[in-house]
A and B are shown apart, each in its own frame.
Chain A
Amino acid sequence: MSRADTTASRQLLPVVPLAALFFAAFVLPLAALVLVSLFRDPQFTGLSLVQYVRFLSDPFSLKVLSDTLWLGAEVAFATLILAYPLALVYVASGQFMRTLITFLIMLPLLTSTVVRTFAWIVILGRDGIVNSAMLSLGFWQAPTRLLYTWEGMVLALTQIQLPLMALPVINSLLRLDGNLTRAAEGLGASRARIFITIILPLTLPGAIAGWLLVFAAGATAFITQTLVGGGRIILMPSYIYQQAVGVQDWPFAAALSLIFTLAVTGIVLAIGALSRRFMRGVDAA
């Protein structure tokens, strides 16, 4: 072995623990998943693609997948709509307000998902804060079901995932040259026009990064989906859990997992590629 090779392998040495972990915790389980998904039945007799055929020919399963992806998209759009006003306020604020806003944004990240989700159950439940308030104020005559609804789930996920959207959007907005908005203003543009023609296109890389993070996180949020959605709404994560743990159909659960993973990854990659193509002249975030 030449001297140069020894140096190169020395330089790679620090990566070894991470690579080993990655291999053991990611590559191996994924390979196992692929293998399990190829068995014909839960008794692991013989290999075939029957699990995939089963999924693709079953309207119920396809509906669960599309609902799940749609949930991710809805939550991502909801956080996007909330993130921009928040980011604009942040950028316009002084140091104290910025610290406060950062703290409030980060707060959800500092508490466990389970805790945050149970907080939403307390808020949305039949005897929860919203129902009690609306009843005692006389707006509602009877308790309204908020928990275990699609809207309740979107609401809870939106709050929980907001940091993933707000942080990249704020970061893009901070990097935007203030002279650009000043130039647009000097040229006679209204605030709305400045936002649509200058701020939005130039902060799009951050918004898309945030959108993809929230989309992936929202679609796969097993705990929140299960607890706030209850058993009434079947989505991919709980479907997989049910097939694996409940029905003990491991091959089908493995196929579901792989299809779900591919669908989310495919959408993330496709949107990423599209956005790069259409954002000529805009720095990638």
Chain B
Amino acid sequence: MELTLSDVRGHSLDLKGIGHAFGATVALDEIELAVAAGELIALLGPSGCGKTTMLQIIAGFLRPSKGEVRFDGARVEHIPANRRRIGMVFQNYALFPHLTVFENVAYGLRARKRPNAEVAAKVEQMLELAQMAQFARRLPGELSGGQQQRVALARALAIDPGLVLLDEPFSALDKNLRLDMQIEIKSLLKTFGVTSIIVTHDQEEALSMADRIVVLNKGRIEQIDSPDALYDRPASLFISSFIGHTNLLRGTVTETDRVLLEAGPEIDLGRSAQRRRGTPVTISVRPENIVFGAADRPGAIPVTIRATVPLGAVSVTEGLTTSGEAVKISQARAATTTQAQAGETAWLAITDTSRISIFSTPADGVQDHQQRSV
């Protein structure tokens, strides 16, 4: 890239024992998070999980009831938002409708009373990077959603922020445009080397954007991990169903390494279930970890086929076990040899038992945990 970028690197961010309550409602509790300089973090969780509260605390719009916020090791709770050097990208972009694209991007520099020549040079550079240079004289209302988002990001980055916060930045975009913009914005943020925190309820967005994902539920952190680790080794039943699709099957531990499923067969885990015999457990098996198999294969699960849905690259078949649990099977369409017909009985086999996750069945039932993933 021929443009010279400022050498300002992002802040590191530490949240220590952050808690926040609105009246009697606890929005956040015991939040511990360490973000390295230049890292791209996603705060992921269903609505009401506290992720927006967390963002507002980091931005300085909200003072936490307890705990510490540190930028590069220094506490900042007492510093107001306008002195924190933070770039914000809002869900609706919050571009100033009465100012041109140029003046929107220049806003933060003018607030810092930078000389006009410097403002012009910086704004042009940012618009160039965001591929919006030819729209400098337009008003935000004359731009498409994707263009508005580019301007919003250029405006946030123009002040050389130590931290960029993005609040549900893609939710207003068409689904087709979303992945393109995610890749584009991720690469822009990485080029800048700026520490970024993106708040989202969309797990695909978190998976495609973040170096690490922080999963929040009911005001607490459930797991912090890389996208792959989160998908392969979810720490809780909630995460296993919140990240990607999964099949949850109830069973009971019979031997150290064996689980008898309510759906029929006994599964050999190939490792310890880490639970006593007789413990009710729920296993999580990803749809792509299941194949159609022969009836006599050990561990084969009989299901009644309900429907097959072609989804382009893959086709997803749903079946119902004898215990009444729905199971989804995802196959590459090219690999689909036999098309199972609705109403037929088929036998399913788990391809790789080491990729099964095991959880203790919660007292309130599995159903509740599945519903929250919707």
Contact = CB atoms under 8 A, between A and B. Distances in A.
Interface string A274-285: 000001111100
A201 interface: yes
Given A193-B111, A281-B140, A186 B96 contact: no
Q: Which size bracket describes the interface of B in this complex?
A: 20 to 34
B208 interface: no
B88 A177 contact: no
B81 interface: yes
B26 to A, nearest CB: 21
Given A187-B107, A190-B111, A281-B141, A180 B94 contact: yes
Given A281-B139, A281-B140, A186 B98 contact: no
A19 B175 CA distance: 52
A179 B92 contact: yes
B59 interface: yes
B82 A183 contact: no
Given A188-B82, A188-B159, A282-B98, A183 B111 contact: no
A231 B112 CA distance: 55
Contacts of B140: 281
B78 interface: no
Interface string A190-227: 10010001100110000000000000000000000000
Contacts, number: 74
SS class of chain A's interface: helix, strand, loop or mixed? Answer: helix
Contact of B97 (A186, A190, A282): A282
B96 A190 contact: no
A101 interface: no
Interface in B87-108: 87-88, 90-92, 94, 96-99, 107-108
B211 to A, nearest CB: 23
A189 B99 contact: no
B82 A182 contact: no
B111 A186 contact: no
A127 interface: no
Given A201-B98, A282-B97, A282-B98, A186 B139 contact: no
Interface in B146-178: 155-156, 159
A280 B107 contact: no
Most B CB contacts (10 A, CB to CB) among A188, A197, A198, A279 go to A188
Contacts of B156: 186-187
A198 B96 contact: yes
A151 interface: no
Contacts of A183: 88, 90, 94, 96, 155
Given A177-B94, A180-B94, A180-B96, A188 B88 contact: no
Contact of A182 (B61, B87, B112): B61
A31 B110 CA distance: 56
Nearest to A191: B82
A106 interface: no
A186 B83 contact: no
B86 interface: yes
Given A180-B94, A281-B140, 9 more contacts: A180-B96, A182-B90, A185-B81, A186-B81, A186-B82, A186-B84, A186-B87, A187-B108, A202-B98
9 contacts: A179-B91, A179-B94, A180-B94, A183-B155, A186-B86, A187-B107, A188-B112, A190-B82, A202-B96
Interface of A: 177, 179-180, 182-190, 193, 197-198, 201-202, 279-283
- List 5 tightest A-B contacts by C-beta distance, closest first: A187-B108, A179-B94, A186-B88, A183-B94, A189-B111
